[in-house]
Every structure is written in structure tokens, then in C-alpha cells.
């Protein structure tokens, strides 16, 4: 469905949109404590327990307006603490109202849904907060049982929430007090328009709505008109930007020796934890397998893995059992893994703006970090677009010399060959299993037909 469906306004919503007096608040240079913002003692203690010492700029600017029951449009760069900016006001309001089915949070990816839920549970541990995560790839029946317990907070992908609204008996969101759309720009770029329309229709008009986005795209602006009333716009950055604590480098390499230079780099950075971004699911799987053959602890994350596999990889990386995560852009947004020291763009993103989201996986919440982007003779134009986007020139990463890299070339080629053979064997095994299942089904069908003939 086109984005226009999201912005088809009812007469009542049109009148609301016409009288909107949107105020803008600059979220920079705000230095206060959680208690000074009006956060309750219980939630301040929870923030301290999970290591949140003071509010980030977006939290400091947004939360006072949220406490005043205003709708919010929060525009902030990745890694700025947006989850806390909506979770804390929701929990504080819940302490006053004590209502089940209190809030719905929408997010575009399964990983982000899980992470938001974990943040709510960490902040709400002392108040027995109950959350449920509704997302594709998991059992509907299990989720239905969880919904029957009437949790306080529902974190969901739009599609799966609509599935439950249309098929789960007795489930509705007509009484919720909060509706949050996180990563709204991505929600609207992933064809969730129809689902968001249905969710807005199913939720009450008298609610508090928070719209969080990296940037105010035309689609987000239209969604804001359709779903928010007299919102406050809180903005950390009006353009695509990266945090000051991030050191950004590039490395210029011949395409032919790209993997070899990567291994040389990983040898140099062996003490650090990192995410390596590639452009396809196949390349992610191949690189992870190659790194394993070279003795590197690596996990893999891409869109063709099922939910159990994806969560397993993430948990291994989070726990420190794997020091490297090889991922496609499915990991570029929302993931908050504090120990990520370095992000390596092995392949330049097809969408230039995704660069900011990728490198935002490190240097989060005031921490330092490094990003390194591989540039071959075929990537110069894409790299220049990245520098134009962020408004700065990147420094060259010179720690890997040509001699040091080429000394690893034969080992790298052998590992690549071994990875190719291993993946081919697994592919043949999958095909064999699928073929065997088809033969069994065909045989079963023939037997059934013979039995029917015999009965006649």
C-alpha cells in the first residue's frame, strides 16, 4: 500500500491537523539529572541500576513534555537513547494509573522489538512490569496465551499486531494510553502503511502518541498529521550526523585483495569487539564461515535466518562468546550492544543514509568507538556520497600495511575455499532433505489414492 493510505485523514483529524501549533525544541546542551526532570524515585533507582547515570540530550528535552501529556515527535541520531525517552514516561504514568494493556510500541524489526522489551523489563523490574513481544517468526498460539494475561506493555511489529487484532478473540487495544512508533521513517519505508492504518483505527483517539525517527521524511510528516495532536517536536539533529565520540576512518584497498586486508585488520584489532557489515545474506554467511576457518569467533545475522537463529547469534555476541558479528543491514538500526568497539563497513551500503545507522552501533550513549569503511576502485562514488552526507572528510586507516596484509593472502584464500566447500555441502544436504520429503509426500499421496480405489 502506498504511503498515502497512512495520511488519509478523517474530518476530525483534518481539523486537528489544521489547528496544530507545532512547537520545536532543540535538544542540544541540556545537562540535568533524571530527578531534576521529574522522574520518580523508583524509576531513578532503576536507571541507576542499569547504568544510566544521567539523561541523554533527547531524553532531557523530550521527557518533560511527555510528563505534561503532550504528543511528541522526537528526531535524533541513532544511539541517542530514544528508547529511554519514551519508556520512562510510560512507566511513570503506569505507576500512577496501574492499568493493564497500557501501552503499545511499534518497531520495524524483530531484533529492535526484543531490545525495546528488554529495556522496559529492566526499568520495570521493581514494579513487576509485564511485557509481551509480538513479531513474525514466532508461534501465534504462544503469543495469544501471553496476551490473555493482559500485559502492561505490548511491543510489536505492525504486521503481527494486526494479525492478533483480526484473529485473536477478545484482544483489542481500544483502552491503551500510549502509542509509540519507533524508527518511524523505517516503518514507513517497509510497506507497513496498511497495518499502521489499522492500528491507528483500532486505538483510542484519547491517547498519548510518540513518534520517534532519525529524520523527518515526507512520509513521517504525513503520518504525524494523521496521528498526533498538537505535538512538540524535539530535535537533536536536523541532518544525518554521527556522534562526536566516533572516530571514522576509511581504508583504500584493491578489490581483488579485499578479504585479505580485512583479515590483516582483524589481526590488528583482535582485542576489540566488532560488527562487520556486508550487503547480502549469502556474503554474511560466507564471511562468517571463512572467519571461523581462520580461528576468529564470529556470529552471523541476516534476514534469511529464522527468529531462533537470529536471537541465538545476538545473544552469543551480547554475552561476549563471539567477538565478531557479521551482519547485513538487518542489524543497522536499533541494536544497543554497549561493548561494540568497532564497526567495519566491508561493503558500502546501497542506501547512503544507512551508513549513519551502521556506524551508530558503536560510540553509543557517550562512549567512544571507531568505524572503518572499505573503499575499492569501484566504491569511490558511493564513498564520496557518504562524506557529503555527514559533512566531513574521513581519515585514512593506515595501521594495515600492504606487506602485513599480503603475508596473510594464502591463508585467506584457503579459508575462502574451505568456506565455499562447506556452504556447498550444506546446500546439497538441504536440497537432498527437501527432495526426500517431496518423495515421501508423493508416495503417501499415491498410497492414499490406491486405498480410495480399493474402497470403491
Position 3 scores a pLDDT of 38
Q: E strands of 81-177, at which residues? A: 103-106, 131-134, 153-156
- Does residue 320 register a pLDDT over 80? yes
Position 240 scores a pLDDT of 65
Counting Cα atoms < 13 Å in the Cβ hemisphere of 345 gives: 34
Beta strand pairing call for 342-345 and 369-375: parallel
**Mean pLDDT over residues 48-71, rounded?**
93
Position 451 scores a pLDDT of 65
DSSP 74-93: EE--TTS-HHHHHHHHHHHH
Q: E strands of 340-398, at which residues? A: 342-345, 369-375, 395-396
- Determine the Cα–Cα distance for residues 288 and 282; give it in Å rounded to an integer: 10
Distance of CA 354 to the CA centre of its chain: 12
Confidence of residue 357 (pLDDT cuts 50, 70, 90): confident
In tens, the pLDDT along 13-50 reads 333 333 334 455 555 555 789 999 999 999 999 999 99
441 vs 213 pLDDT, higher one: 213
Backbone angle region of 319, left / alpha / beta, with phi > 0 → left and psi within -120 to 50 → alpha: alpha
Confidence of residue 267 (pLDDT cuts 50, 70, 90): very high
What percent of the chain stands above pLDDT 70? Answer: 87
In tens, the pLDDT along 235-253 reads 876 556 677 889 999 999 9
3-state helix, strand, coil in the chain (%, to 5): 50, 15, 35
For the chain, list the domains and their CATH numbers. Answer: 3-235 (3.40.50.300), 246-420 (3.40.50.300)
Supply angle C-alpha 163, 182, 198, rounded to 5. 35
Which helix (DSSP H) or strand (DSSP E) does residue 181 occupy?
strand 178-181
Position 13 scores a pLDDT of 36
Beta strand pairing call for 298-301 and 131-134: unpaired
3-state secondary structure of 404: helix
Confidence of residue 161 (pLDDT cuts 50, 70, 90): very high
- Does residue 5 register a pLDDT over 60? no
**Mean pLDDT over residues 194-201, rounded?**
93
Position 283 scores a pLDDT of 95
What percent of the chain stands above pLDDT 90? Answer: 61
Position 26 scores a pLDDT of 54
- Does residue 384 register a pLDDT over 80? yes
**Mean pLDDT over residues 104-110, rounded?**
93
Mean pLDDT of the chain, nearest integer: 87
Say if CB 326 and CB 291 are below 8 A apart: yes
**Mean pLDDT over residues 313-340, rounded?**
88
Position 335 scores a pLDDT of 75
Position 9 scores a pLDDT of 39
Residues, the chain: 456
Position 411 scores a pLDDT of 96
Position 24 scores a pLDDT of 55
- Determine the Cα–Cα distance for residues 264 and 365; give it in Å rounded to an integer: 30
Distance of CA 416 to the CA centre of its chain: 30
Alpha helices in 360-408 (DSSP H): 380-390, 402-406
**Mean pLDDT over residues 196-212, rounded?**
95
- Determine the Cα–Cα distance for residues 393 and 322; give it in Å rounded to an integer: 32
Which of the given ranges, 97-101, 103-107, 387-391, has the highest pLDDT on average? 103-107
Which helix (DSSP H) or strand (DSSP E) does residue 114 occupy?
helix 110-123
Amino acid at each position: 500500500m502506498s504511503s498515502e493510505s497512512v495520511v488519509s485523514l478523517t474530518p476530525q483529524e483534518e481539523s486537528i491537523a489544521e489547528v496544530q501549533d507545532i512547537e520545536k525544541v532543540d535538544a542540544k546542551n541540556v545537562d540535568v539529572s533524571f530527578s531534576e526532570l521529574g522522574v520518580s524515585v523508583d524509576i531513578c533507582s532503576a536507571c541507576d541500576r542499569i547504568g544510566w547515570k544521567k539523561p541523554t540530550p533527547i531524553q532531557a528535552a523530550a521527557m518533560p513534555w511527555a510528563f505534561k501529556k503532550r504528543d511528541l515527535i522526537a528526531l535524533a541520531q541513532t544511539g541517542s537513547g530514544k528508547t529511554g525517552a519514551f519508556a520512562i514516561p510510560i512507566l511513570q504514568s503506569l505507576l500512577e494509573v496501574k492499568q493493564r494493556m497500557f501501552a503499545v510500541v511499534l518497531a520495524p524489526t524483530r531484533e529492535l522489538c526484543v531490545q525495546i522489551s528488554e529495556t522496559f523489563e529492566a526499568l520495570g523490574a521493581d514494579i513487576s512490569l509485564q511485557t509481551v513481544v509480538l513479531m513474525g517468526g514466532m508461534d501465534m498460539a504462544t503469543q495469544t496465551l501471553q496476551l490473555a494475561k493482559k500485559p502492561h506493555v505490548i511491543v510489536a511489529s505492525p504486521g503481527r499486531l494486526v494479525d492478533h487484532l483480526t484473529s485473536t478473540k477478545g484482544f483489542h487495544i481500544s483502552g491503551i494510553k500510549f502509542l509509540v512508533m519507533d524508527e518511524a521513517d523505517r516503518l514507513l519505508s517497509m510497506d507497513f502503511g496498511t497495518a499502521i492504518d489499522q492500528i491507528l483505527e483500532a486505538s483510542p483517539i484519547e491517547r498519548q502518541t510518540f513518534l520517534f525517527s532519525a529524520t523527518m521524511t515526507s512520509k513521517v510528516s504525513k503520518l504525524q498529521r494523521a496521528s498526533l495532536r498538537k505535538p512538540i517536536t524535539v530535535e537533536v539533529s536536523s541532518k544525518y550526523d554521527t556522534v562526536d565520540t566516533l572516530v571514522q576512518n576509511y581504508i583504500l584497498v584493491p578489490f581483488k585483495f579485499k578479504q585479505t586486508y580485512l583479515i590483516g585488520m582483524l589481526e590488528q584489532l583482535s582485542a576489540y569487539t566488532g560488527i562487520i557489515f556486508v550487503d547480502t545474506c549469502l556474503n554474511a554467511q560466507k564471511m562468517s564461515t571463512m572467519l571461523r576457518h581462520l580461528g576468529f569467533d564470529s556470529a552471523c545475522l541476516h534476514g534469511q535466518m529464522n527468529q531462533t537463529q537470529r536471537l541465538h547469534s545476538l545473544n552469543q555476541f551480547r554475552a561476549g562468546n563471539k567477538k565478531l558479528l557479521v551482519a547485513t543491514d538487518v542489524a543497522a538500526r536499533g541494536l544497543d550492544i554497549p561493548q561494540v568497539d568497532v564497526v567495519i563497513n566491508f561493503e558500502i551500503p546501497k542506501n547512503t543514509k544507512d551508513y549513519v545507522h551502521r556506524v551508530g552501533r558503536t560510540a553509543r550513549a557517550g562512549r567512544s568507538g571507531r568505524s572503518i569503511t572499505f573503499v575499492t576502485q569501484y566504491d569511490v562514488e558511493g564513498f564520496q556520497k557518504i562524506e557529503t552526507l555527514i559533512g566531513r572528510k574521513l581519515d585514512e586507516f593506515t595501521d594495515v600495511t600492504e606487506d602485513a596484509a599480503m603475508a596473510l593472502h594464502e591463508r585467506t584464500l584457503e579459508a575462502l575455499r574451505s568456506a565455499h566447500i562447506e556452504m556447498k555441502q550444506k546446500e546439497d544436504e538441504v536440497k537432498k532433505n527437501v527432495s526426500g520429503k517431496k518423495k515421501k509426500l508423493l508416495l503417501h499421496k499415491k498410497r492414499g489414492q490406491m486405498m480410495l480405489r480399493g474402497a470403491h
